[in-house]
Amino acid sequence: MSDAALPARRPEGATAPDSGPPAAAAFVAPPAGSRFRPGATLAERAAAYLGEGPRAPDDIAHDVLGLARASGVVAGRLVAALLGADPRFAFDADGRWSRIAEPVLGAVPLAELPFAVVDVETTGLRARAGDRVTEIAVVHVDGGRVELALASLVNPEVPIPAYITALTGISDELVRDAPPFALVADELLAALHGRVFVAHNAAFDWRFVSAELERAGAFVPRVERLCTVRMARALVPELERRNLDSVRQFFGIETDHRHRAGGDALVTAAVLRRLLGRAAESGIETWPALRSVVP
Q: What is the pLDDT of residue 175?
A: 98
Among the listed residues 44, 42, 48, the one whose alpha carbon sits nearest the alpha carbon of residue 61: 42
Query: Please, how many CA atoms are within 13 Å of residue 157, restricted to the half-sphere of its CB?
Result: 9
pLDDT over threshold 50, residue 295 = yes
Q: What is the pLDDT of residue 18?
A: 39
Q: What is the pLDDT of residue 138?
A: 98
**Beta-strand runs (E) in the chain:** 89-91, 97-99, 114-122, 133-142, 145-153, 196-199, 225-227
Distance from C-alpha of 131 to C-alpha of 178, rounded to nearest angstrom? 17
**Whole-prediction pTM:** 0.73
For range 65-78, the mean pLDDT = 85
DSSP-based three-state secondary structure for 26: coil
Q: Is the dihedral of CA 221, 96, 77, 79 positive or negative?
A: negative
How many Cβ atoms are within 10 Å of 41's Cβ, its own excluded?
A: 25
More reliable by pLDDT, 93 or 26: 93
| Cross-strand pairs, 83 | none
Distance from C-alpha of 232 to C-alpha of 228, rounded to nearest angstrom? 6
Q: What are the tens digits of pLDDT across the range 38-68?
A: 667 888 888 889 888 999 999 999 988 888 8
Q: What is the pLDDT of residue 24?
A: 40
Distance from C-alpha of 83 to C-alpha of 105, rounded to nearest angstrom? 25
pLDDT over threshold 90, residue 293 = yes
User: CB–CB of 19/99 below 8 Å?
Assistant: no
More reliable by pLDDT, 12 or 125: 125
Q: What percent of the chain has pLDDT over 70?
A: 86
Q: What are the tens digits of pLDDT across the range 232-258?
A: 999 999 999 999 999 999 999 999 888
More reliable by pLDDT, 104 or 60: 60
Q: What are the tens digits of pLDDT across the range 178-223?
A: 999 999 999 999 999 989 999 999 999 999 999 999 999 888 888 9
Q: What are the tens digits of pLDDT across the range 251-260?
A: 999 998 889 9
Count of residues in the chain: 295
DSSP-derived secondary structure letter, 147 = E
Q: What is the pLDDT of residue 250?
A: 97
User: CB–CB of 57/235 below 8 Å?
Assistant: no
More reliable by pLDDT, 230 or 99: 230
Q: What is the pLDDT of residue 44?
A: 82
Distance from C-alpha of 64 to C-alpha of 34, rounded to nearest angstrom? 9
For range 75-85, the mean pLDDT = 87
Residue-averaged pLDDT of the chain: 86
Distance from C-alpha of 273 to C-alpha of 146, rounded to nearest angstrom? 10
**Domains of the chain and any CATH numbers:** 5-101 (no CATH), 105-293 (3.30.420.10)
The band of 103, judged by pLDDT with boundaries at 50, 70 and 90, is low
